[in-house]
A and B are shown apart, each in its own frame.
Chain A
Amino acid sequence: MGQKTPQIYSVELNGAKDMKQTDKGDDKDKYRGLWSTCLELRKNHHKEHVTKEIDLDDHKLSNKELENKYHTNIVTGLSSTQAAELLARDGPNALSPPQETPEIIKFLKQMVGGFSILLWVGAILCWIAYGIQFSNDKSSSLDNVYLGTVLALVVILTGIFAYYQEAKSTNIMASFSKMIPQQALVIRDSEKKIIPAEQLVVGDIVEIKGGDQIPADIRLLFAQGCKVDNSSLTGESEPQPRSCEFTHDNPLETKNIGFYSTTCLEVSISPVGTATGMVINTGDRTIIGHIASLASGVGNEKTPIATEIEHFVHIVAGVAISIGVLFFIIAVSMKYRVLDSIIFLIGIIVANVPEGLLATVTVTLSLTAKRMAKKNCLVKNLEAVETLGSTSIICSDKTGTLTQNRMTVAHLWFDNQIFMADTSEDHFKQTFDQSSGTWASLSKIITLCNRAEFRPGQERVPIMKRVVVGDASETALLKFSEVVLGDVMEIRKRNHKVAEIPFNSTNKFQLSIHKTDDPTDKRFLMVMKGAPEKILEKCSTIMVNGQEQPLDQSTAEAFYTAYMELGGLGERVLGFCHLYLSADEFPETYSFDVDAMNFPMSNLCFVGLLSMIDPPRSTVPDAITKCRSAGIKVIMVTGDHPITAKAIAKSVGIISANSETVEDIAKRLNIAVEQVNKQDAKAVVVTGMELKDMSEDQLDEVLTSYPEIVFARTSPQQKLIIVEGCQRQDAVVAVTGDGVNDSPALKKADIGIAMGIAGSDAAKNAADMVLLDDNFASIVTGVEEGRLIFDNLKKTIAYTLTKNIAELCPFLIYIIVGVPLPLGTITILFIDLGTDIVPSIALAYEKAESDIMNRKPRHKKKDRLVNKPLAVYSYLHIGLMQSLGAFLVYFTVYAQEGFRPSTLINLRVEWEKDFVNNLEDSYGQEWTRYQRKYLEWTGYTAFFIGIMIQQIADLIIRKTRKNSIFQQGLFRNKVIWVGIASQIIIALILSYGLGSITALNFTMLRPQYWFVAVPHAFLIWVYDEVRKLFIRLYPGSWWDKNMYY
C-alpha cells in the first residue's frame, strides 16, 4: 500500500491526461459502476483519483520554448483570430460550476430516505391488502386505501418540507457569492486590451498589477518585487514572492508560476509597475480547477443520523415482521382463512410503522437548524445538524479558520527585552512600555520605512478593518503604527521621503531616507528594515534605552537569542535600524541615488526587532478547550510551515501547554530524536513530506497514538487522506476550512464546515455547514446543539414507539381473543398524525439533562439512536402498560353499555355480521348492526382517549432519561405544555366537534371516560421515576445497562 499513497505535488503526466481526454460524464458513470461493484475497488479507484495530480512543466521551459509551445509572441501576444480559435477549442476561462443536481432529483431524494422507504412500503402494503380484500368482497372497507394514501401523503409532504428547508439555506448560500466579472489586461495583436478574464486563452500575454486577481494559471515572464497571496490555494498565510526564475521542480513551489484566483499583492513600481505572464492553463485545467474537480469526485459520506435512522428502520421493520409472522402463524392455526391471515399480517406490519415520526424528525432537525442559524451556523443539509454532535475528530484548517488570516504584529524586541503586542481581532490595546527612547526611534522607523497605505475614505472604519494597499507585513506594520501612534499618513507627510529602495528578495531589506520633522535638525534620517541578520550585519551600534551603544558580542548574542525565540514561535521577524546622516556630508540639497547607493550602508544603529504572525482568533483557544472537554480531538491540518503551524497550535491549545513532541523531548534532554521514548510524547507535528512516505497503517497509528496532532505542509489530496484515516478509526470527522484547497476534504468529511465570510465558494459548496461569522467557537455551539438533538431525538422516538404497542395490541387481541376491534385504522392515524405530533416536536425543546459538553462523543457503532433498551423499554414496559390502560377504558365503555368483557370474547364473528341485527348483550338487550358499529366507534374513541391520556404521562417521563422529572423541572420546557394542550384540544375537537361525522369513526364520549386511564398515567410516571431512581442509584448495574436507553 505504501507506494500507492499519493505523492504530494507529484506529477503524473499520462494518467492525468487520459482523464482529461475522456468525456467527463462517461467517466463518472464508469466510476459509479465501480463503486457499487466492490468496496475494495472503490478504494483503489479513490486512490487513483487522489493521485491524479497536476500536469505541468511549463515552469521549466525558457521563454523561447514557451513561445513555440503556445504559438505566441511575448511582445505582440496572440492574434485575435488565434485567440478566438483557442477560445472555441478550450472553452471560456472559468471554472465549470459543480454539477448541479437537478431540482427534481433533489426533491425526489427527499422522498426515498431510510424512513420514507418504510412509509412507502407501508403504503404499498396497504394498497395490496385492499386489493386482496376487494377481490374477495366488493364492499370491503376503504380503511386500507385511506391509510395507504395518508402514508404516501406524509412522505410527500415531509419531502416537500425538507426540500423547502434545504432550498432556503441554499438560497442564503447563493446570496453569498456575488461574482464580479473579472477583467484582464491582455496583449493581443500587439495592443493592450482589457477583456473579461473569461475570454483568456492559453498563450495570452497578460499584465498584472498589485491587488489584481491572477486571471488564469500564468507563467511569469517579467516580474519584479512581485508577491502573491496563495493562502486560498495552499494555506500559506505569508505572501509568496514571485519572479521569472525557475526555482523548483514542483510547479506549486516554483516561483515563476502564478495561480488562477490567487491575488497578486504587489509589484515593484519601477520600472513598469506590472508583472507580465503567459497564460498556460485556463478554466478547469488550472490548479484550482483540478482541486475543484477533486472535490466533486469525492463522494458524500452518509450522515451519522441517516445511519442511525436506517438502523432504527431495521429495528422497526424487524419487530413488525416478526410480530406479523408470529401472528400470521397463530391466525392460521386458529383456523382463520389464509387470506384473512395475510390481511392481518399486513395490518400488523403497517400498524408498526410510526407514521408521524418522519415528519417529527424532519421538523425537529429543521428547528435545530434554525436555532443554529441564529447562532451563525448555517446548515445546508438538515441531517448534518446532528453530525456535529457525534463528531469525535475535528480536522481544522489553520489559516482563516483558527487564525485571522491577517498578519499582525505579535512581539517587539528592543532594550534587550521582548514585549508582547495585542493580537486580538478588534481591541487594540498595547500594553508594552512606550516610554523608552528606543521605542520612539523604532516607531519612527516602523512608520516611515513602509510603503503600505490605507485606501482613502476610510476614516470612519475601525483601523483593523481598513483596506490597505500593500503586502501583508507592511499592512500589519501600518496598522500597528496607526494604532499606537495615530495618524501615520500625517507623520509621513511631516517626514518627507527623499529616497527609497523597496524590498526585494536579493537585498532582503527595504530602505528609505527622510527629512525629519524636527525643523532644528537638518540631518536626513535613513531608516531600514529587513531580514534581521542582514540588518544586523550593517550595524555597528545598538540602541538601548534611547542611547546608542557599541554592538558587542553579548548584545549580538542577546539579539540572536531573541531572534531565535521569536522565530521559534513561528513568527516572521523583521529587524529595524536607522542612521542620522550628518548634515555636513549630506546637505539639504544632496541628491540621493538609489542605484548608485551614494549613502552609507554600514555602521548603522540597530534599534529593534518586530515579529508578526497571523494570530489566532481570540475565540479559538476557548473553543478548543471546550471541544477537548467534550472529548473531541482537534487536529490541525494546514498547508503552512510546520514551525508556524506548531506555534499556532500551541497558542490555540491544539497542542496543550504541557505536552511535547518527540523533537521537543529530544531537545530538552539533549539526545537524538531516535532515542526518545515515543510514548512520552503527546503531540506530534507531521509534515506533508513525512505523510507521503507513510502507509495507511502507519497513519492510523499516528492518529490513534497521539492525542495532539498537527499536520503541516499538506496538499489538498493529503487532507483527504488524513480525513479518511480518521474515518477508519470509526471517528465522525468534521473538517473546517475556507480555501479551495480544503474543499475535497470538506466534502469527504462526515461534516464539512466552511467559513462564510472568508471562505471561498468552492469550500462553501463542498461544505455541509457554513459558519456565517467565521467563528470557530460557533462549532462548539453546533456540537452542543447536535448532541442535544441526538438525545432529544432519542426521547422523541421512545415517545413515538411507546404508543405503537398500544396501537398494535388492540389488533392482536382482536385477532386472538375475538373482541370487537378496539381501535380503528383511521383513529390510529389521528393519534400518529394528530395528537402526537406537537408533543414529539416539543421534546426537541427539552434542555440537556447533564452537561452534554463534558461527555465523550458517542461511539458511532455502540451508542445507537435506537438501542435495545430503548426498544425493549418502550415496547415491553411502557407500551404494554399503556395498552392495559387503554383497554381498561375500552372495557369500561363496553361494559357500561351492556357488553361485559366475558361476553365480548369471541364475539367478533357475530358482531361483524351485517345481517345480525339483534345481537344480544350481557343484559339480554338486542343490538342492530349499526348500533354495534356506533358502539365500536365509541370504543375507538375510548381507546384513543386512553392512549392520549397516557401519552401525556409518556411525554412527561420522556423529558429525561436518567434524572428525575423534578430535577429537570416540570415547567422549564414550556413547549411540552403546549404539546399537552394540543393533545387535549385535538382530542376534544375530534370527540366533541367532529364526533358527528361518522366517516372519522369518532363519537362523543361521556366525559367520565376521559379519566379512566388517569391512574394508569400516574402509574407509568411512577414506574419510570423508579426506573430512573435505580439508574441513578446503581450506575453500571444490570438495571442501568438494561433500562437506560
Chain B
Amino acid sequence: MRRQLRSRRAPVFPHSYRYRLDDQDEVNQNYLADEEEEAEEEARVMVVHNLEEEEEEDEVKEEEEKNEEEGQGQPTSNTWWRKLQIMNEYLWDPEKRMSLARTGQSWSLILVIYFFFYASLAAVITLCMYTLFLTIGPYMPTFTERVKPPGVMIRPFAHSLNFNFNVSEPDTWQHYVISLNGFLQGYNDSLQEEMNIDCPPGQYFIQDGNEDEDKKACQFKRSFLKNCSGLEDPTFGYSTGQPCILLKMNRIVGFRPELGDPVKVSCKVQRGDENDIRSINYYPESASFDLRYYPYYGKMTHVNYTSPLVAMHFTDVVKNQAVPVQCQLKGKGIINDVINDRFVGRIIFTLNIET
C-alpha cells in the first residue's frame, strides 16, 4: 500500500484532487476486499528479488496487514479468523512454498550453516573435555578436600535411622537381619581369604609402585565381628533385644588416620539419660579401624578393597522407649561435630526396642 502511494507521487495539493480522491478510495476498497489477491500480486512481483529481501518484505507486509485489520475494526471473530489464516500461512505458505517465512532453499542454507557451526562447537568442547581428562588421573582424584573428613554410615540401613522393632515379633526386625546378612556376604571368611591377603595389623598397608598397578587388599573377615558376625547368632541379637549395628567409615582415596592412631568408635546416648544404654560391646574389641586398611587406592586398582567395620552390640538398652544414640569417630584429624553435616565423623540414630 505504501509502495503504491509512493509510486503515484503526484502531489495533490492544493488543486484538482477530486480524481485522485476517488482513485484512492477505490484502492482502499480493493485492498480491503481481497488482500490476498494483492498479496499474491506482490509476491509475483517480488520473485525477481533477492531471496532474503522477499522474506523481510513479507514479514513487514504481514505486520501491515495485521495493523490494517485492527484499524478497520472488523468483527472480532473475523479478525481472529484472519489472524489464524495469517499464522497458518506463516507456518506453511503453499503459494511461495515457504515455511516460517523461509523457502526450502533458505531453510537448507540455515540448517547447513548451523550444522557446521554446532559441529565445530562440538569439536571444541570435545577437545576441551579431552584436555580435561588428560589433566585428571584415572586412579587418584585430583583433590579430596571436599570428601574429607570421612562420613559415617551404619548397617542395617533401610532409608531410616530409627530402629523400631518388637523383639517378640520377628517380622519387625527380620528385614534388619536380611539386610545385614546380605551386606556381610562380601565379608565371608572364605571369600576374604581367597581374594585378599592377611596383612600385618597396626600399620599402614602402603603399596608403592606405579599408580596403575593393581593393589592388594587386606582381609576383613566376618568373623572379626564375633557376636555380631551373624555366624553364632543368625539374628544379630535382634531376637534378644540386643541389636548389632555395624558402623562403616566412608572410603576416601589416600585417607590415613593421622599419627598412626587408629580411628576409634564410641557411642553414647545423644540426648537424655546416659544410663539408657548400660553397655555396648564393640567388635573388633578395639572399637577401631585398624591402620592396615589404609590407605585406599581407589576403585580402579584397589578392586577388592574391603571397608573395615566396627560392630556395636547394644547388649543392654532401655526397652520400650526411643533412645537416641550418637556414634562418633574419635581420632586425630577426625571432625565429628560439623553442625550442618550430621554424617561427618558421627551418626545419630534411635533405638526403640519393644518387648
Contacts and interface: CB of A to CB of B under 8 A. Distances in A.
B296 A924 contact: yes
A931 B140 CA distance: 18
Contacts of A40: 71-73
Interface in A934-982: 934-935, 938
A706 B11 CA distance: 7
A923 B299 contact: yes
B60 A934 contact: no
Given A681-B11, A897-B143, A923-B141, A39 B73 contact: yes
Contacts of B124: 884, 1019
Contact of A695 (B21, B248, B340): B21
B344 A928 contact: yes
B300 A923 contact: yes
B271 interface: no
Contact of B13 (A698, A881, A923, A934): A698
A701 interface: yes
B6 A704 contact: yes
A706 B16 CA distance: 17
Contacts of B11: 662, 678-679, 681, 684, 701-702, 705-706
Contacts of A877: 117
B128 interface: yes
Interface in A902-953: 915, 917-918, 920-931, 934-935, 938
Nearest to A859: B60
A121 interface: no
B147 A898 contact: yes
B52 interface: yes
Contact of B147 (A697, A701, A931): A931
B12 A698 contact: yes
Contact of A923 (B21, B117, B140): B140
Contact of B73 (A38, A678, A690, A934): A38
Contacts of B13: 684, 686, 690, 694, 698, 701-702
A884 B125 CA distance: 7
B146 A935 contact: yes
Interface in B134-186: 135-136, 139-144, 146-147, 151-153, 157, 159-161
B144 A705 contact: no
Given A915-B160, A931-B151, A921 B141 contact: yes
Interface in A694-725: 694-695, 697-698, 700-702, 704-706
B94 interface: no
Interface string A1028-1042: 000000000010011
B193 to A, nearest CB: 22
Nearest to A888: B128
B49 interface: no
A891 B151 contact: no
Given A674-B16, A924-B253, A925-B147, A930 B21 contact: no
B17 interface: yes
B324 to A, nearest CB: 17
A891 B147 contact: no
B142 A896 contact: yes
A689 B125 CA distance: 73
A89 interface: no
B132 A917 contact: no
A901 interface: yes
Q: Which of A861, A884, A896, A925 has the most CB of B within 10 A?
A: A925
B12 A881 contact: no
Nearest to B255: A925
A157 interface: no
Interface residues of A, number: 65
Category for how many chain B residues contact A: 35 or more
A70 to B, nearest CB: 42
A686 B14 contact: yes
Contacts of A918: 151, 153, 248, 250
Contacts of B97: none
Nearest to A728: B71
B48 interface: no
Given A897-B146, A924-B251, A917 B12 contact: no
B136 A896 contact: yes
A416 interface: no
Given A881-B121, A917-B153, A1041 B141 contact: no
A697 B24 contact: yes
B305 A924 contact: yes
A633 to B, nearest CB: 15
A30 interface: no
Interface string A279-316: 00000000000000000000000000000000000000
Given A915-B160, A923-B253, A698 B146 contact: no
B5 interface: yes
Contacts of A1041: 52, 56
Contact of A697 (B21, B109, B142, B300): B21
Nearest to A42: B73
Contacts of A887: 125
Interface in B1-49: 5-6, 9-17, 20-21, 24-25
A695 B25 CA distance: 11
A643 interface: no
A698 B13 CA distance: 7
A925 B251 contact: yes
B21 A931 contact: no
A998 B161 CA distance: 26
Contact of B15 (A673, A884, A920, A929): A673
B251 A926 contact: yes
B70 interface: yes
A901 B129 contact: yes
A501 interface: no
Contacts of B253: 898, 923-925
B252 interface: yes
B285 to A, nearest CB: 25
Contacts of B136: 895-896, 900
B185 to A, nearest CB: 18
A1006 B157 CA distance: 36
Contact of A928 (B16, B71, B140, B151): B151
A876 B70 CA distance: 34
Given A679-B9, A915-B159, A925-B250, A934 B24 contact: no
Given A694-B13, A702-B11, A923-B253, A917 B299 contact: no
Interface string A985-1001: 00000000000001000
Given A701-B13, A1019-B124, A924 B5 contact: no
A452 interface: no
A888 B340 contact: no
Nearest to B9: A705
A901 to B, nearest CB: 7
A984 to B, nearest CB: 23
Interface in A575-593: none
Nearest to B74: A40
Interface in B103-145: 109-110, 114, 117-118, 121, 124-125, 128-129, 132-133, 135-136, 139-144
B151 A896 contact: no
A928 B344 CA distance: 7
A892 interface: yes
15 contacts: A679-B11, A684-B11, A695-B21, A702-B12, A705-B9, A705-B12, A880-B121, A888-B132, A897-B141, A915-B160, A922-B141, A925-B147, A928-B341, A1041-B56, A1042-B52
The 5 closest A-B pairs by CB, nearest first: A924-B299, A930-B341, A928-B151, A926-B250, A896-B142
Given A38-B73, A920-B251, 8 more contacts: A681-B11, A686-B14, A697-B24, A704-B9, A880-B118, A896-B141, A898-B144, A930-B340
Interface of A: 38-40, 662, 673-674, 678-679, 681, 684, 686, 690, 694-695, 697-698, 700-702, 704-706, 861-862, 876-877, 880-881, 884, 887-888, 891-892, 895-898, 900-901, 915, 917-918, 920-931, 934-935, 938, 998, 1006, 1015-1016, 1019, 1038, 1041-1042
